[in-house]
Every structure is written in structure tokens, then in C-alpha cells.
Amino acid sequence: MFNVTQEQQGKVYEGVLYQLKSYIEENQLKPGDKLPSERELSEQLHVGRSSIREAFRAMELLGLIETRRGEGTYMRAYRPYHMVELLSNFLLNESRTKSELLTAMHMIEKEVLTLVQDKLSDHHFHQLNEILEASEEKNLHCAVFEYLFTICDQHLLRSMWQFISGFTNTVHDVQHHKEWYREMFEALKKGNTIGILQLYR
């Protein structure tokens, strides 16, 4: 059913999105219909399961599918699938755009840090320090910002950040030392917006 040409590594993710879009349209899937498993799609598309997982994650953030724990992945309410096509083209076709992904991610992070700084209590800082001590460095960035988005109560901004950071992590290694986060917390405590922005230089 699938006819996929192997592309260079940077194109794999885009190719998976295109093939999933084709599968949905060819099979006229409706809300509530089940998609093949990651393993099945990996075998049919001849790509790694991690690429399928990332594509599913992007589609879930767009509201196209939903994953039910222990049951599988299902279609949600219909939306034009050209949106996936346009986003994958925009984010992955241009090498220049790949270099801009990190900038876009940082723009959203700086915005949420600015929005959240007046909302943080001593309890919040205690929680942030617990996250800092409990998380491994590779998971720390996501854990800290997921918590900040929760405090900020900016659901759309959070979805944008999750979507862009998902793409960013496929081409960039987004990690900071714990000292970077300690400096961030200190700047937030002092309401030091300039200090927050300087972290991203």
C-alpha cells in the first residue's frame, strides 16, 4: 500500500508525514478509526519506529490523532491534512530553516519566562529546584519548561513550543548545564528580564 523511496536522513521525518497523510486519505479514515501500530508502520514504510513516533507526536499536537494508552492510535475530528504537508515543508525542506528552529524555540521560551515571572511563588521555586535535582540533564529542559507552561496557563503557546521543540530536537542537541537553570531561577526571582534574555546569548 505504501510506496516510499529512501530519502536522505533529513527527509525521513517529512516522508513519514506524507505517507501517513496518504494512508489516511486513501483509506478514508474517519474520527474514531484506528491507525496501524508504530511497529506495523515502521515495517511498511521501512523507517525507524522513532520516526513514526515523532510523526505521531506532531499529528497529535495538531489535533489530527489521539493516542489511547494500551489501545493504540485513533483518528480525531477531520481537519485538512494539507496543514501537515505545509508545516513539514516549512520546517524541513530548507537547511536554513533547520538553523532557525532553535531561534524559534528560544523565542517562545523567552516569552513564557517573561509571562510567568510575576506568577511565581516560593512554592513554585521550591518545585523548580526539586525538578532541577531530580531530573537527568537530557530531560531537564523539557521538565522545567513543561512546569513553567503549566503555571503560565498558556495552552496554545505550550502546544507551539512542544511542536517546534519536537522538530528542533531532531536536528539540535538542546541541553544546558544545571547552573544555567539556577541562573534562570535567580533572574526570575528578581524579576530581571534582561538577565533572562542574556541567558539565550
Q: 77 and 119, same structural domain?
A: no
Identify which has the larger pLDDT, 170 or 1: 170
Predicted local confidence at residue 189, as pLDDT: 93
DSSP one-letter code for 88: H
Classify residue 13: in a domain, yes or no. Answer: yes
Confidence of residue 6 (pLDDT cuts 50, 70, 90): very low
Q: 159 and 73, same structural domain?
A: no
Domain limit, last residue, from 19, 53, 86: 86
Cβ–Cβ under 8 Å, residues 34 and 74? yes
Predicted local confidence at residue 11, as pLDDT: 55
What count of Cα atoms within 13 Å lies in the side-chain half-sphere of residue 135?
Answer: 22
Q: 110 and 41, same structural domain?
A: no
Residue 21 has pLDDT above 90, yes or no: no
What count of Cα atoms within 13 Å lies in the side-chain half-sphere of residue 24?
Answer: 27
Domain limit, last residue, from 62, 86, 110: 86
Predicted local confidence at residue 184, as pLDDT: 95
CATH code for the domain of 60: 1.10.10.10
Question: pLDDT tens digit string along 115-165?
Answer: 999 899 999 999 999 999 988 877 889 899 999 999 988 888 888 888 788
Sign of the dihedral defined by the CA atoms of residues 17, 18, 22, 23, in that order: negative
Predicted local confidence at residue 88, as pLDDT: 56
Predicted local confidence at residue 44, as pLDDT: 82
DSSP one-letter code for 37: P
> What's the domain range around 76?
9-86
Q: 119 and 68, same structural domain?
A: no
Classify residue 104: in a domain, yes or no. Answer: yes
Question: pLDDT tens digit string along 82-96?
Answer: 555 555 555 555 555
Predicted local confidence at residue 89, as pLDDT: 56
Confidence of residue 180 (pLDDT cuts 50, 70, 90): very high
Classify residue 91: in a domain, yes or no. Answer: no
Domain limit, last residue, from 86, 107, 141: 86
Residue 152 CA to residue 163 CA, distance in Å, equals: 18
**How many residues are recorded in the chain?**
201
Q: 191 and 100, same structural domain?
A: yes
* Averaged pLDDT, 32-57: 85
Arithmetic mean of pLDDT over the chain: 80
Range of lowest pLDDT (61-70, 109-118, 139-148, 178-187): 61-70
Residue 10 has pLDDT above 50, yes or no: no
Q: 81 and 25, same structural domain?
A: yes
Classify residue 191: in a domain, yes or no. Answer: yes
Instruction: Please state the pTM of the whole predicted model.
Output: 0.55
Vertex 30, ends 28 and 33: CA angle to 5°? 105
Give the number of domains in the chain.
2
